[in-house]
Structure formats: structure tokens, C-alpha cells
Chain A
């Protein structure tokens, strides 16, 4: 007791100074991280001022002239603003509606399995696709869905149908994106709920069994409320990144013909900024995206804190 007082108690600047001097090495350990976050995160954040400037190559980010909201106006009035927003939100909401509940259901189902060997096998197999790279998954999708020799269309033809041009038909894009994501990540995303289910007090279940509650009833009245806090936290995080449709897979599955359904803000920023070198304009688009996300995160977090007493911070 006395020892811990000596180490972490003490009020006032003087003792803080003494603490810092005695433990200077702890702060030295933090130096690489501080530099890393300053250079690779905070410097770019400071660099978003480019969104309000006209980038001049010779003057760089800091020296270019200010132009106000010009780039934002151009983006909002652009012909593809509506399409970008619709695609970005469309893919996100579709993912959320399908991809969010499935891992929860899967975890509850796996939790109800009594045979340990089967349980392990199911887990090992459903987690596996998570370790494939996005490039590999995109390659598999394109090969499987090929109209001439993909296995999916072979099956459709064998059943008497006409081959479907999945990859160039805009109407299919979002479904392909969402379902392949479910295939790849549902197992992995269920782990966190499995952990929450394992944390539920077994006595609750025992008492319910004594009272004659069926499996479905116990799932509904014990398991679901037990994992609710985890569900809410993950929902907050998901809603908070609703404008962040993962660039990587959309970009790989994108082609000129499915563009009406597949062009999202992140791929647009890449095309305009990195490929087209319109640095100021694409920074403005990116900033618009980040700000919406951040506002959404704060709103959802606040609502959740008021209603459920669960929040990120």
C-alpha cells in the first residue's frame, strides 16, 4: 500500500516534474509513436486545408492560395454527386442490413452446438476466407461469375437459364459486393459475439432450464440481452463509418460498364486525386466524406449513451 502511494500519488506540478524525471524512459518509449502519428496522421489532417486552396505545384500545400469553398461547390453541383452519394450510401446500408445481423445469428447458432468437434470444424472453416486477400477474393468472384466459363453461369445454363453478365450489369454490383463480403467475413465477425456469449453467467441458463424455458426462449431472453452491449458498440462503429465503403474491393470489382452502380466516393477520390492529380478538388471530396462520418459517429454515440448507456467514449 505504502509503496503504491509513493509511486502514483502526489499532487501538484512539483511531483509531476519529479515523476517525469524519474520515469523519463517511459516518455522516450512513446517518441516513435508520437512522431509516427504526427507525420502520417496529423500532418495530413493539417494538410486538408488544401481543400480550401488551389494547389500550385511549385508552392506546395502550405503556400498555395486560398479559394474558399470553390471545390466543394464544384463537387456538390457536379453531375455525379448524386450518383456517388447513392452508391456509397447504398452499398453501406445494404452491407449493414445484411452483413451486420448474420454474424450475430451465426454466433448464437454456433454457441448452441453441443458437439465440440463439429463446433471447432465449423469455426475453423468459416473463419478461413477472412485470411484471403481482397485481390484473391475479387479474382475468384470474377472467375466464378464469368458469363462464358464461370461455374455460376454453367449452373444457370445447366438449369435451362441464360448466362447472366454479372460483372457488367450495374444492377448486380451491390449484391455481389455484399454477399461476397458476408461469405468472407461472417465467421470472423462472429468471434466477437462468441466471446460475449461465453461471458454470460451460466447460472442464468440453469435457472431458466429449471423454469422450463425452451432453447429459443433462452436465446431470446438470456443470450440476446447478454450480448446487446457488444452489438450496440459494433453498430455505432459501423454507422460511424457508413460513408467509408472499403476502397479495396470496390476498386477491384469496378469496370467501365458497372460504373453507374460501383463508383463510390473513395474510388472517385482516387481517380481524381491520384490518377488525375486534381489534388485540391479530391481533398475537398475526401474531407466532405470524413466530416460526414465523424458527425454520424458522434450522433449515434450520443443517442446510444442516452438510450442504452453504452458508448465509445
Chain B
């Protein structure tokens, strides 16, 4: 009896310590995000002086006005939206028609294809041969270079295949086959209507991937007019190049340097907000995707 009491007291202490540490971790994760948002809305002078601790001070929207007036950022935004829409559509369609046959346990030779595809997860030709082949294909500076080289993620195909196998009874497909249904028909009228949750997951995974990627653009795009948002951001945030944003003669160099700080934070917000706003609503789908991926093991 006495023993039980001591145990439960130690459990209570565990709860308190655990809760405290988790709140601390959450605050540490959250703080930089809040700081960026606050700094972007504040008077840049106050940001430079280190006056911003948590909330914005001296509300000032000049940085946002500059950002939204900048041609490069606007064009980067449009390009990214275009790459994301077309790229995600191609990704999802190809993943579905690849995952479906591979999910069929009656498919002859399925293991060969599966092995051929998954091998690419563990070994690759490397950057330079890939680059040379894409160049030989004439894809440099081509719109499709932002879509085709990453058209199918084998990891996502495996997630989808697992979903088709585990969530849709095979008997349902068998009876349709006996009725003489073609496989396209089965995919379209039986599999797809039952697969909306996993398709949502795929749209999100691929979509966020396109939105955030810069590597392919860095390597395969020369024409700045085709740059996606992330490459424009790289110039502003990492390379500190914002001449275009600063072209008006009315500001002194000192003023421009002050404003530059605000512009950095504003561009971070503008670039990240679409994903961060959508994400909490779709969190359970994302989590589901990771979990299905884990089952495969």
C-alpha cells in the first residue's frame, strides 16, 4: 500500500517535469517564428536596435510595400505557383497509375518493377551525369525541367501502394474483374473514390516539396525570369542582394540598410505563410502519410 503511494507520487513528479520540459521545447520552437513575424511588422530601426523581444513595435508596413512592389518577387511567386500546380498534378497522376498495378498481388513481374524502382532510393548516378543527361535532352531553361526530373517519388509510390493494399479489400476488385471490368475502370471507379485521404496526403507532400525546393532550379535554370520564389529568396536572404528592391533614389544608404533588415523578415513571412496557414488544417493528413509510410518498414 505504502509502496503504491510512493510510486504514484513519483509518477506525479514525472508528469510535472515532463509537462514543463515539453512546454519549454514548444516555446523554443515557436519563438523564432514569432520573432520573424513581429520583426517584419515593426519599425526596422527598432529591429536593428534589438528592441523587438516578442511583439512588434512601431508598426510599419514599408517592408511589405517594398516586397509586394518588387518584380522579381512577384514573378518568382507566379513561377512557383505554376511549377507547384503543374508539378503536383503530374506527380499525383503518375504516382497513382504506378502504385496501383504494383499494389495488385496478382501482378506478374511486380517484384521486378518494384525492385528496379526502389533500387534508385539507395544508389544514384550522381549530380553530374544527371545534369549532363538533362542538358543533352535540351531541358535546360525549359519549363518541364521543374517537373520531369522529380516526376515520381518512389517513397510516395510505396506509401500509396501500401494504402491500396491495406485499405481497399481485394475482393472488391476481384468481383469487378469477374464482371469484365477493365483495370482502368477498376482504378477509376473503385480505387480512386476510396483513396481520397491518401491522394490528399500526396498532394500535400508533393505540393510542399515543389513550393520549397530550390535545388533543381539552381542547377537547371539560367534565365532569371523563370526563377521560382526560393531562388529569389536566396538572393535576398542569403546573398544579401536587393538592389532592385532599393532602386528609389529618395532614400539614403543608411535608410536603405535599415529597411533591408525589415525586408528580409517580410519576405520570409510572405514566402512561408501559404504553407504554414494551410498546414494545421491538414496536419492529420500529413501525419497519416508518415504513418502509412512507417507501416511498410
CB closest chain-A residue, reference B183: A25
List residues 129-148 of chain B with CB under 8 A from any CB of chain A: 129-134, 136-137, 148
B178 contacts which chain A residues (CB < 8 A)? 3
The answer to whether A60 and B136 have CB atoms under 8 Å apart is yes
Chain A interface mostly helix, strand, loop or mixed? helix
Q: How many angstroms from the CA of A185 to the CA of B27 in the assembled complex?
A: 15
Residues in A whose Cβ lies below 8 Å from that of B187: 29
A214 interface residue per 8 A CB criterion: yes
Identify which of A37, A109, A266 contacts B18 (C-beta below 8 A).
A109
Query: Which A1-50 residues have C-beta < 8 A from chain B?
Result: 3-4, 7-8, 16, 19-20, 23, 25-27, 29-30, 32-34, 36-37, 39-48, 50
Distance of A234 from chain B, by nearest CB (Å): 9
Nearest CB on B from A106, distance (A): 7
Quick check: B32 and A140 within 8 Å, CB to CB? Answer: yes
Is A44 in contact with B130, judged by CB distance below 8 angstroms? yes
Question: How far apart sit A134 and B47, CA to CA, in the bound complex (Å)?
Answer: 23
**Is B48 located at the chain interface by the 8 A CB criterion?**
yes
Checking A126, A133, A240, A248 against B29 with a beta-carbon cut-off of 8 angstroms, the contacting residue is A126
Interface string of B34-72 (1 = CB under 8 A from A): 011000000000011010100000000000000000000
Q: Which of B13-36 contact A (CB under 8 A)?
A: 14-15, 18-19, 21-23, 25-26, 28-30, 32-33, 35-36
Give Cα distance in the complex from A7 to B107, angstroms.
10
Q: B276 contacts A128, CB within 8 Å? A: yes
A45-B294 in contact given A138-B237, A248-B215 (Cβ < 8 Å)? no
Contact between B211 and A133, CB atoms less than 8 A apart: yes
The answer for the CA separation of A274 and B222 in the assembled complex, in Å, is 12
Tell me if A82 counts as interface (CB < 8 A to partner B).
Answer: no
How distant is the Cα of A180 from the Cα of B297 in the complex, in angstroms?
A: 28
A81 at the interface (CB under 8 A from B): no
Q: Give the distance in Å from the alpha carbon of A192 to the alpha carbon of B286 in the complex.
A: 11
**A230 touching B294 in the complex, CB below 8 Å, given contacts A140-B268, A270-B127:** yes
Q: How far apart are the CA atoms of A216 and B14 in the complex, in Å? A: 8
Q: Which residue of A lies closest to B115 (CB)?
A: A313
Specify which of A61, A112, A270 is in contact with B14 (CB 8 Å cutoff): A112
A190 to B15, CA, bound (A): 20
Given contacts A112-B18, A139-B233, contact A126 B182 (CB under 8 A): no
Which residues 266-297 of B sit at the A interface, judged by CB distance below 8 A? 267-268, 271-272, 275-276, 279-280, 283, 286-287, 290-291, 293-294, 297
B276 adjacent to A47 (CB under 8 Å)? no
Task: Please choose the segment from B97-105, B192-200, B246-254 that sits at the chain A interface, where 4 or more of its residues have CB less than 8 A away.
Answer: B97-105
Does residue B190 face the partner (Cβ distance < 8 Å to A)?
Answer: no
A-chain residues with CB within 8 Å of residue B26 when the two chains form the complex: 121-122, 125-126
Q: How far apart are the CA atoms of A188 and B204 in the complex, in Å?
A: 15
Asked if A109 meets B128 with Cβ closer than 8 Å, knowing A36-B94, A135-B237, the reply is no
CA distance A68 to B106 in the complex (A): 46
Instruction: Say whether A252 contacts B105, CB under 8 Å.
Output: no
Find A183's partner among B29, B102, B128 (CB 8 Å cutoff): B29
Interface centre among B94, B187, B290 (most CB of A within 10 A): B290
Q: Of B52, B123, B264, B265, which contacts A290 at CB under 8 A?
A: B123
Q: Which of B22, B101, B123, B137 contacts A30 (CB 8 A)?
A: B101
Q: Is the CB of A23 within 8 A of B107?
A: yes
A91 interface residue per 8 A CB criterion: no
Nearest CB of chain A from residue B236's CB, rounded to whole Å: 8
Whether the pair B19, A8 counts as a contact (CB closer than 8 A) is no
**How many residues of chain A get a CB closer than 8 Å to chain B's CBs?**
96
**Cα-based distance from A123 to B29 in the complex (angstroms):** 11
Contact (Cβ within 8 A) A45 B123: yes
Contact B133 A47 (CB under 8 A): yes
CB atoms of A4 and B174 under 8 A apart: yes
Cα(A96)–Cα(B119), bound, Å? 24
* A214 x B10 contact (CB < 8 A): yes
Q: Which of A7, A23, A43, A283 contacts B126 (CB 8 A)?
A: A283
CB–CB A26/B107 < 8 A: yes
Q: Which partner residue on chain B sits nearest A25 by CB separation?
A: B183
Contacts of B102 in A (CB 8 A): 30
Known: A8-B105, A149-B261. 6 other contacts (CB 8 A): A27-B101, A34-B113, A133-B233, A183-B32, A191-B290, A252-B234
> Chain B residues in contact with chain A, CB under 8 A?
3-4, 7, 10-11, 14-15, 18-19, 21-23, 25-26, 28-30, 32-33, 35-36, 47-48, 50, 52, 94, 97-98, 100-102, 104-108, 113, 116-117, 120, 122-134, 136-137, 148-149, 151-152, 157, 174-175, 177-178, 182-184, 187, 208, 211-215, 219, 230-231, 233-234, 236-238, 261, 264-265, 267-268, 271-272, 275-276, 279-280, 283, 286-287, 290-291, 293-294, 297
Instruction: Name A residues whose Cβ lies closer than 8 Å to a Cβ of B.
Output: 3-4, 7-8, 16, 19-20, 23, 25-27, 29-30, 32-34, 36-37, 39-48, 50, 60-61, 106, 109-110, 112-114, 118, 121-129, 131-136, 138-140, 142-144, 149, 151, 154, 158, 183, 187-188, 191-192, 195-196, 212, 214-216, 229-230, 233, 240, 247-248, 252, 266, 269-270, 273-274, 279, 282-283, 286-287, 289-290, 293-294, 297
19 pairs, A vs B, C-beta closer than 8 Å: A26-B100, A33-B97, A34-B113, A44-B133, A46-B125, A61-B136, A112-B18, A118-B22, A135-B214, A135-B237, A135-B271, A139-B236, A154-B50, A183-B32, A191-B290, A229-B297, A286-B128, A286-B129, A290-B126
